[in-house]
Amino acid sequence: MITERTKARLLDGTAVAVRIKQEVTTEVEQMVQASGYRPCLAAVLVGDDPASAVYVRNKIKACEEVGIRSEHHALPESIGTAELLGLVNALNTRDDVDGILTQLPLPRGIDEALIIEAIDPSKDVDGFHPVNAGKLALGRPAFIPCTPAGIIELLDYNRIEIRSTNACVVGRSQIVGRPIAQLLLQRDATVTVCHSRTRDLAAVTREADLLVVAIGRTGMIGREHIKPGAVVIDVGMNKVSEESAVRALFGDAAEKRLEVVAKRGYTLVGDVNPAEAAEVAGMLTPVPGGVGLLTVAMLMKNTLKAAKLHRSQA
């Protein structure tokens, strides 16, 4: 007798993000009561890119929610590398600033690598500085990029086994792909990293019990890429507005998504085709509502960690 397969269970990031923020809130208040000091995050936004502005607003709002003091440094797109370096260096020297983030991408003409490397590694709450990347690769304590760290929190919260599993990471960026591969290796997974040059990508990804996708291509990963019952973590965040694309990506849920498009002009989708993945995977992160929420929560956790380190050395 053939029975209809149950669709993948959604790994909602909301509950995990709420728990992390609650823990940070409690520890921040304990720090304030014990020492009178409140952690501070300085966010630097260059230019007027709408998406970057939204991301920074969300981070500032999260600071308010957990009791972290925040500073928003909004700079014109015309600013040069030297001027931006001057601000970063000034923030480095301030004892009342624990974390510094420069919202990426930076406008053309600014040396992004130089700016990242100028941030004091002990205030690098994004975890992008080469010192922190090197420590992560060596398995030493470091500031870990927020999205990979959030993925591990999500897996642990849902009691998903990492040890001895076959894991595949699609994407090799310094922000997600490489650091999550390092974290999974440190948890004793057998890890394969794929990218745009990988031959027969589907043949490789189908071997994975745990599939992390962060390649930046709308709905690229379909049913043929996924091992039946696999855990699929979709890190992508892409905008879709055409009706045909929405229907192809969301299947039975397309009508609700089209309502979103009618109101907002677009709907969000990851790098995984959600309708196809739901038919094959055992567990799947939704977009939105999955990994993105955890990224901001882990930024709060990293800022608190930086403040603890600075206060212990004061």
pLDDT score for 135: 97
pTM: 0.94
Residue 162's pLDDT is what? 98
What pLDDT is attached to residue 2? 37
For 105, the domain range is 36-122
Q: What is the average per-residue pLDDT within 233-245?
A: 95
Q: Is 194 helix (H, G, I), strand (E, B) or coil?
A: strand
Structural tokens at position 59: 């981070």
As a whole number, mean pLDDT of residues 61-75 equals: 97
Which residue type, as a one-letter code, is found at position 206? R
207 DSSP 8-state letter: T
Residue 224 CA to its chain's centroid (Å): 26
pLDDT of residue 309: 94
Quick one: 112 and 162 in the same domain? no
Which residues are marked as active site? 59, 103, 126
Q: Give the largest Cα separation in the chain, rounded.
A: 70
Is residue 29 in a domain?
A: no
What's the confidence (pLDDT) of residue 49?
Answer: 87
Q: Is residue 266 part of a domain?
A: yes
Please indicate, yes or no, whether residues 101 and 194 belong to a single structural domain of this protein: no
| pLDDT tens digit sequence for 100-113 | 999 999 999 999 99
Average pLDDT over residues 25-32: 97
Average pLDDT over residues 192-198: 95
Kindly report which listed range (43-47, 127-131, 167-171, 310-314) carries the lowest average pLDDT score: 310-314
Question: Long-range CB contacts (< 8 A, 24+ apart) of 199-208?
Answer: 201/170, 201/225, 204/168, 205/168, 205/170, 207/166, 207/168, 208/166, 208/167, 208/168
Does 171 share its domain with 215? yes
Are 187 and 263 contained in the same domain? yes
Same domain, 178 and 269: yes
Q: Are residues 167 and 233 in the same domain?
A: yes
Q: Are residues 174 and 118 in the same domain?
A: no
Identify the CA nearest to 168 among candidates 143, 194, 132. 194
Considering only residues 311 and 293, tell me which one the structure prediction assigns the higher pLDDT: 293
Domain count, the chain: 2
Evaluate whether residue 40 is within a structural domain: yes
DSSP 253: G
The verdict on 77 and 176 lying in the same domain is no
What is the percent of the chain where pLDDT is above 70?
97
Residue 50: per-residue pLDDT: 87
What are 189's strand-pairing partners?
none
- Closest alpha carbon to 106 in 125, 86, 79, 133: 79
